[in-house]
A and B are shown apart, each in its own frame.
Chain A
Amino acid sequence: MKIAVLLGSFDLLNPSMLDAEAFQHIFGQEYQFFKMPWATGKRDQTYNNALLSNEDSRLINAAGYAMKYDFADDKIPLLVFVDAQISDVVSCLKMLRKGANCETLNVTLLSLRSNTTYAASEATKAAAQELVTASIQGVAFTAPMTVTVEDLAALDVQHLVRKNLKIRDISTKLRDALERRGMTMSPDIARKKIMRILRRMTEEGMLVAKDKHEIFADELAAAMMQDLTQFLEKG
């Protein structure tokens, strides 16, 4: 079975900036972030780091099982570990193989590098090297793949990150504006709403200027309130 592992430090791998879809953008459609919604209470913000704690070996076992069945044949599950100890990764890989009940786990190591926006962690790179040379029974490593942020693909990343930041900023402001009008909205829904609106605007060739987020959010809130009133009057 094939899997991919992305190692990195927190300054680069930050879930609020790089989400599941972002990885697909960066590494290609083939790689799909491995989600574990079934592991109740483990939906933490640090990607797959829950698998690295040695407290719950059955969690890793179940993850191996889920990995085996949850992906189409042409997709590779992608695990993202932030600031991970190599020894933890090694024991995790061993357990995953057991859980997936496969003969060999073919692991592609992925890494991200950047000289400008984010400092590349030389330590992580060294750690990845160490992992490749570590011999783990039943685990084979394929040549590591590194994507540098200066590359073409990386532009997409920066763009994505910027876009994410933008969405986050406007949605926070939208919620503030709505609250001033006596209405609350969950952060999730606000984010989704803004994402949709921005996408439609981009399609129409429109853009919200960076310093106009506040005004935009306020106008949007006002429009939403009006819509709501009309809706209620109509019954």
Chain B
Amino acid sequence: MTTLDVLIPHYNDSSALALSLESIENQTWAGSKRVIVVDDGSERDELQKTEQVILQSSLNIELIKSPENLGRPKTRNKLLDAADAPFLAWLDAGDIWYKDKIQSQFNCLYDLVHKGDDVDTHWITCNYDWKWEGKRRRKVDQIARGDQLKELFIGDKLRAYLWTLLGTRKSFERAARFDERLLRLQDLDYFISFVRAGGRLVTPSNRNSLCCYFKSDIGRNAAEIRGCYNTIFNKHNAALLEFGPTFTQRAKSKADFVASRFAKNNSEHGLAMAYKFHAFKSDPRYALFRLKQSLNQG
């Protein structure tokens, strides 16, 4: 019986996949696991290399091939459909887990059972390292205290990254499915749906970084990101109404800053300024706070 299904979407990057698989092989957790890779229509060469990588791995891996490129959300839904173990964890090809990630998170689950909590309403997230191309690793703490719905909308203390998660399959069903309209940020929508459906995120007692995210904004479209934010704000408007317009403006202003960052990293400086201006219009106080912050950091 497989206890844990590790779900990995893959597209045209077999060496990145190899890196991720290796980090799964190195896990100290000894329970029985299976890796499910859905290849999202990679080109023929890359697909062959991917098959090679999978053959060479000592892991139990199931490869599912999409005949065409469907995009992240559909691929993730395919992964959800393929999974049938009682526990699920996610990883994106190219990112890695540190060796005690899964054990630390399972320990957290056992602790939930010990406390008498319902494991099917919890997701275990974790602190992680964030590595920009050409920069040093930076540790990012996931803070699970307070109103998690608010924190997710703002994204400063609690971030919606699937590869930080371990949970029961039932807990993932609580968030239903990935919104196939959202080519970006489908994790954010998934997290928000989970919390709105009565779910809660917890962190393990191991406060070390348990995984590493290799981040790059290159080639990602700022307007697409901002558009996805809008879809999410509209979809979860009922939750925002609860928090009031001041909060909503803050969340929108923050989204503008994220889009601005993407634009800047893709050398679209004019667009980056336009988003910043828009952020200022939505929530001048927050925009000024960000300005002050970036001046302080030089």
Contacts and interface: CB of A to CB of B under 8 A. Distances in A.
Interface string A59-77: 1011101100111110100
B205 interface: yes
Interface string B99-137: 000000011101101111000000000000000000000
B106 A39 contact: no
Given A59-B114, A62-B114, A70-B29, A38 B1 contact: no
Interface string A145-163: 0000000000000000000
A63 B114 CA distance: 8
Contacts of B108: 38
Contacts of A59: 114
Best-surrounded residue of A58, A69, A73 (most CB of chain B within 10 A): A69
25 contacts: A36-B110, A37-B107, A38-B107, A38-B108, A38-B111, A38-B205, A39-B114, A40-B205, A58-B114, A61-B113, A62-B111, A63-B110, A65-B110, A65-B113, A66-B106, A69-B4, A70-B29, A70-B30, A70-B31, A70-B110, A71-B31, A72-B31, A72-B32, A73-B32, A99-B113
A98 to B, nearest CB: 12
Contact of A62 (B4, B29, B86, B113): B113
Interface string B142-158: 00000000000000000
A59 B114 CA distance: 5
B3 interface: yes
Q: Kindly state the interface size class of chain B when it binds its partner.
A: 10 to 19
Interface of A: 32, 36-40, 58-59, 61-63, 65-66, 69-73, 75, 99
B154 to A, nearest CB: 31
B87 interface: yes
Interface of B: 1, 3-4, 29-32, 86-87, 106-108, 110-111, 113-116, 205
B103 to A, nearest CB: 8
Best-surrounded residue of B32, B106, B110, B205 (most CB of chain A within 10 A): B110
Nearest to B115: A58
Contacts of B1: 73
A64 to B, nearest CB: 9
Contacts of A37: 107
Nearest to A56: B114
Going nearest first, the 8 A-B pairs with the smallest beta carbon separation are A38-B107, A62-B114, A62-B113, A38-B110, A66-B110, A38-B111, A69-B3, A65-B113
